[in-house]
Amino acid sequence: MTLVYLDNNATTMVAPEVIEAMMPYFNSEYGNPSSIYDLAHGANEAVKKSRKTLADFLGAKDPKEIIFTSCGSESANMAIKGVLDVNRNKKHIITTRVEHPCVLNLYKELEKRGYQVSWIDVDSKGDLDIGQLLELVNPDTALVSVMMANNETGTIYPVDKISEAVKMQNPETKVFVDGVQAAGKIPINLKDTKIDLFGISGHKFHAPKGVGALYVKTGTILSPLIVGGHQEKGKRAGTENVPYIVGMACAAELAMQNLNDELTRVRKLRDKLEKGILSNVKNAVLNSKSANRVPNTTNIGFQYVEGELILLHLNDEGICASSGSACTSGSLEPSHVLRAQGVPFTSLHGSIRFSLSRYTTEQDIDYTIEKLPVIIEKLVKISPFQKELKEIFK
């Protein structure tokens, strides 16, 4: 059975090299990094080395700025709650309408607890209204929180420029960047930015699920989310997840080596897929319209056809993709990202995200371009909007 995996923004295959790198830390090197005997030494060294690799990966000045966590959501929660907790007199937060739910829902919760949250709009291409953002920064602003790349459309937001400008307005305002969808896909160089906090998740770049990291710029104070032992310099208690940390470091290394492939070959394949679909399917419209995009993502809406139904039929052909729309998430709410962008209802519910990785092949793309038009043609026949579809297909 063919398997074409085009859902790498959801999760990625664990790289074989990563699994290999992890194995010794389940077997011979099982010591607790905090212990004193020789057995623990290897584990301790491995964590140290991994921290250095992650620092290189994110372009951090100092490995001390890297804190290991269990996932992207933990990194985000730690950054946001940690910063707000030490700045209790400040009650204003600025974020965007298109953040990932793990960040978005936290801000909604904070709103209920008395924080004033300003939500920044995007235009029809998905780009942020940076002017609006900067106007809102005031002495009471504790935090500005903007993702680096959007998980649904792949749009890149200029977080370096934003952090720079925010600090000009209020040097005390902290800047948190959700970098989960950027890591491994585009260059990141945090030491040259004014970003204070940057969260990533291992399983989005071929490490296993269950490990992430938070970059905390030197001098940024935040209270811990998990309190207990002295690990991670008291910033995140809990025995280090040594094999997974090693795995994530190996994945980061591979991502650095393959960044050029991502930016060239993967981008070419993505563009081929996009063009192939848009030119072969008449009711297809591009949702990922920003000029600045990560190289692996495209989001395409199919007018008058519903997204889950497309995904089910793609699945029957062995193609994995996803939609942020209606039925898949268990609620009837269509994608908040596409809605913020003003995508019309005609294609909103039929929007599909394809996300590639360095394991995606040309055959995968050709196969998808061959199968998708047949599926859409079949589903168009079921649609009750025959009059409207006839207009599009004439």
Partner 1 sequence: MWEYSNKVKEHYKNPKNVGSIENADAIGEAGALACGDKLKIYLKIDNGIITDAKFQTFGCGSAVASSSILTEMIIGKTVEEARKITNKDIADELDGLPPEKMHCSVMGHEALEDALKNYFGEEKEENKKENAEKIICNCFGVSEAEIIKAIKDGAKTLDDIKEINYAGGGCARCVPNIKMLLDRYSKKDTQLNPVQFILKINKVLETNVAGELGKDSGGIELVNVDNKDVYVKLTGTCSSCKNAALTLKNFVEAQLREHVDEQINVIEVK
What are the catalytic residues?
A: 327
SS3 assignment, position 287: coil
- Which lies closer to partner 1 via its Cβ, residue 27 or residue 331? 331
Q: How far is the CB of 314 from partner 1 (least distance, A)?
A: 12
Q: Where are the alpha helices (DSSP H) in the chain?
A: 16-22, 38-58, 72-86, 101-112, 130-136, 159-169, 242-261, 267-280, 307-316, 336-340, 345-348, 362-382, 386-393
DSSP per residue, 220-260: -----SS-SSSGGGGTS-S---HHHHHHHHHHHHHHHHHHH
Nearest-angstrom CA–CA distance, 4 and 194? 39
- Which lies closer to partner 1 via its Cβ, residue 159 or residue 343? 343
DSSP per residue, 199-230: EEEGGGGTSPSS-EEEEE-TT-----SS-SSS
- For 13, 37, 171, 192, 226, the CA distances from 153, given in Å and listed in that order, are 21, 50, 31, 26, 33
Q: How far is the CB of 324 from partner 1 (least distance, A)?
A: 12
Q: How far is the CB of 384 from partner 1 (least distance, A)?
A: 4
* Residue 51 CA from chain centroid, whole number: 21
The answer for residues whose C-beta is within 8 angstroms of residue 76's C-beta and 6 or more apart is 100, 102, 103, 106, 176, 178, 199
Q: How far is the CB of 281 from partner 1 (least distance, A)?
A: 17
CB 118 within 8 A of CB 95: yes
Q: How far is the CB of 73 from partner 1 (least distance, A)?
A: 20
Nearest-angstrom CA–CA distance, 91 and 32? 40
Nearest-angstrom CA–CA distance, 301 and 40? 53
What's the order of all strands across the beta sheet hosting 212-216? 66-69, 212-216, 197-201, 174-178, 141-147, 92-96, 116-120
Nearest-angstrom CA–CA distance, 303 and 135? 37
The residues of the shown chain that bind partner 1, judged by CB under 8 A, are: 88, 112-114, 223, 227, 304-309, 312-313, 316, 325-327, 330-332, 334, 345-346, 349, 381-386
The answer for residues whose C-beta is within 8 angstroms of residue 262's C-beta and 6 or more apart is 184, 185, 186, 255, 295, 296, 358
For 96, phi and psi rounded to 5 degrees? -110, 165
- Which lies closer to partner 1 via its Cβ, residue 44 or residue 87? 87
Q: How far is the CB of 150 from partner 1 (least distance, A)?
A: 21
Nearest in space to 52 (alpha carbons), one of 253, 192, 243, 195: 253
- Which lies closer to partner 1 via its Cβ, residue 32 or residue 383? 383
Q: How far is the CB of 361 from partner 1 (least distance, A)?
A: 25
Q: How far is the CB of 326 from partner 1 (least distance, A)?
A: 4
- Which lies closer to partner 1 via its Cβ, residue 60 or residue 300? 300
- Which lies closer to partner 1 via its Cβ, residue 174 or residue 313? 313
CB 87 within 8 A of CB 142: yes
